[in-house]
Amino acid sequence: MEERLSADERALLSVIARHRNPALARRAQIVLGWDEALEADQIAGRVGLSERTVNRWLRAFFERGLEIFPAEVLSEALPEAQQSVQAALAESGQPSTGAEVLATERPRLSVADLCQRYHVDMAHGRYVGQLAVELFNLTQPIHQLDHRYRDVIFAAGLLHNVALAGGTARHHTRGRDIILENPLSDLDDADRALIAVTTAFHRKAWKSSRLEKEPSYTALPAAMQPVALVLSALIRIADGLDYSQSQTTILGQSRVGPEGVLVTVAGPFSDIDAARADQKADLWRAMFETPITIRPYSEAAILLEEPVSRKPELPETPGLQPDDLMSEAGRKVLRLHFERLLYHEPGTRRGHDIEALHDMRVATRRMRAAFRVFGPYFEKRTRRRLLRGLRRTGRALGHVRDLDVFMAYAQQYLAGLPAARQHELDVLMGYWRERRAEARDQMLAYLDSTEYTDFVEAFREFVETPGLGSKDVDLEGPIPRHVMYVAPRLIYTRYEAVRAYEPLLQDAPIATLHALRIDAKRLRYTLEFFREVLGEEAGEVIKAVVGLQDHLGALHDADVACSLLQRYMKKLLKQTRRQAGSARLSDLGGIVAYLESREQEMEHLSATFPEAWERVVAPETRRRLALAVSVL
């Protein structure tokens, strides 16, 4: 069996494993179990803790080492551990130097050993390494590095996420330290120093100020610093090309010339991976006058005369089962909509199709709604952290999307006017376009930020790691935690919240109808989350709720538009008073006419609201809801 701990570490942990404090003893037993190559569930059964707790302490050990134990505990255990090591040396006939335990020189490990010790995702690591070598070969006429660095950059790809198992926070600097602290048997120390730099630089948006702040880079000889930057630039791009973590995006036909490098990629997630890789080409562009651009075939087909690849289809359902724990059902739902968020990110960045932005924003809303349904089954700290990122992402997308909606309604209104009047809203539309351009710049700045990148990495880890962030479950207790037991109550609670508006709807103010829209949306999302495990009648119930939500949504949009138009008219009138001629009467007249149109629309929607309401509360809908839920 391959040893993961040094003899010194094992001796010290063996002493602590017998500590009088059971919590500290179990902590040491967890690490010793990992050293024996036991799986987390086996360790959990041995020490009597949950698998989640075992994984938490293992991540802490990967990140902090023996510092997970108090200093006084380590000092107390040290003499006995020293005696144990020296006795073992004497028994084996090896000379004892008398050096203190944990002060011995680290043994040289292979790159594979280091990957195993720190639980590296080898599929992703190898893929990044392979892509980095391909990029190295493609761009060799530009960087002109010796071919021997191909082995170095492949190892850099393997090790770029060496510390990720210990958590996403600062894993690039923790990974750098791990590489610097562990001599490697299959790479010399100079190459290991280069790899440490590539690991430190593989994430976060590139800024030139990072050079002087990164100790692994400043410690290199001056002649090796440009080499480190080239390798780092290529590792960044290669890592971006597996942003989907699917290992399916491949390099296609590419073109290298004085005007730049065009790299095309193909695969079911090439849109996502190409957008991320192109973003992470920032270091390359900062270094070379010959820029590099990464595009999927669907965008580069005209340039390269290649056929356009079909866009992959996303799964329609999360794959829920009636006997799923609520926490894992929630994880499935969240993963489905997280994949949709990433799927629509490239289109949102390009901005050619406003529906991509709409769909990406919808994904954030669905995920937030999912946390309202499944959130009680996750730890509060996990829930808050992920929701904070979702809210920020939703706000960044929402400002642009709201203006898209306002302009779309205005365009629809203008299309119904005679040709002579279709310029009546030019000033208003120009104002909205300016605001949208500002909002879009802010959105793109957020999507390019480390804050967004960290959020995506944390959310991916959450949805892909069963049990992560879940509350402890006592399967023998009477508390219902499975979908089949919990979903009926949740659905009827949401339906009850909608029906509670019934006595308030006679001449209800807009604020009440807006609140009803929110509760109707929550009912719809809850039904859709559990749609797979409900009876077929659920489809008709969802259709009725969608009709109500859409009706109230159109009413809300018209109300918001009226408020915006009134505020803009006041602004325009103030400008007219300050600067004669800055606003024409025709500009105001066109806006007034449009305002009247939206007010008339509100009146029509208010008058027809009872029909949409009746479909949701009708006896037939209630019967269908009962049948849909009765299968659980």
User: Residue 416, exposed/middle/buried by CB under 10 A (0-12, 13-18, 19+)?
Assistant: exposed
Average pLDDT, stretch 347-358?
79
Average pLDDT, stretch 446-463?
89
- Is the pLDDT at 300 greater than 70, yes or no? no
Average pLDDT, stretch 105-119?
79
Percent of the chain's residues with pLDDT above 90: 32
pLDDT at residue 352 in the model: 66
* pLDDT bracket for residue 350 (50, 70, 90): confident
pLDDT at residue 91 in the model: 62
Mark out the alpha helices in 201-249 (DSSP H runs): 209-213, 215-218, 225-240
Average pLDDT, stretch 420-426?
80
- Is the pLDDT at 93 greater than 80, yes or no? no
CA dihedral 423, 426, 427, 432 (to 10 degrees): 150
Lowest mean pLDDT among 80-94, 304-318, 566-580: 304-318
Lowest mean pLDDT among 299-303, 329-333, 367-371: 299-303
* pLDDT bracket for residue 305 (50, 70, 90): very low
Percent of the chain's residues with pLDDT above 70: 89
- Is the pLDDT at 386 greater than 80, yes or no? yes
- Is the pLDDT at 20 greater than 70, yes or no? yes
Q: What's the whole-number average pLDDT of the chain?
A: 84
From the list 321, 375, 363, 357, the residue with the least C-alpha distance to 339 is 363
Say how far apart CA 619 and CA 429 lie, in whole Å.
46
- Is the pLDDT at 622 greater than 90, yes or no? yes
pLDDT at residue 96 in the model: 42
Tell me 618's DSSP state. Answer: S
Domains and CATH numbers, the chain: 7-92 (no CATH), 111-304 (1.10.3210.10), 323-461 (1.40.20.10), 484-632 (1.40.20.10)
The maximal CA–CA distance of the chain, rounded, in angstroms, is 102
Amino acid at 112: A
Say how far apart CA 194 and CA 183 lie, in whole Å.
13
Q: pLDDT per residue over 456-506, tens digit each?
A: 989 999 998 888 888 876 655 677 889 999 999 999 999 999 999 999 988
- In sequence order, what are the residues at sequence separation of 6 or more whose Cβ sits closer than 8 angstroms to the Cβ of residue 267? 246, 248, 249, 250, 273
- Name residue, tokens 């690849």: 309
- Is the pLDDT at 413 greater than 90, yes or no? no
- Is the pLDDT at 414 greater than 90, yes or no? no
Average pLDDT, stretch 520-541?
94
Tell me 39's DSSP state. Answer: -
- Is the pLDDT at 440 greater than 60, yes or no? yes
User: Residue 626, exposed/middle/buried by CB under 10 A (0-12, 13-18, 19+)?
Assistant: middle
Q: pLDDT per residue over 194-232, tens digit each?
A: 999 999 999 888 888 888 888 899 888 888 999 999 999
Lowest mean pLDDT among 28-42, 140-154, 285-299, 395-409: 285-299
SS3 state of residue 260:
strand
Average pLDDT, stretch 55-64?
80
- The token pair at 471 is 């509350």
Task: Compare 376 and 291 and report the one with higher pLDDT.
Answer: 376
- Is the pLDDT at 115 greater than 80, yes or no? yes
Average pLDDT, stretch 425-441?
85
* pLDDT bracket for residue 299 (50, 70, 90): low
Average pLDDT, stretch 52-69?
81
Average pLDDT, stretch 42-65?
82
pLDDT at residue 497 in the model: 94
pLDDT at residue 4 in the model: 67
* pLDDT bracket for residue 351 (50, 70, 90): confident
pLDDT at residue 7 in the model: 76
Rg of the chain in Å (alpha carbons): 30
Global confidence as pTM: 0.60
pLDDT at residue 9 in the model: 81
Q: pLDDT per residue over 509-522, tens digit each?
A: 888 999 999 999 99
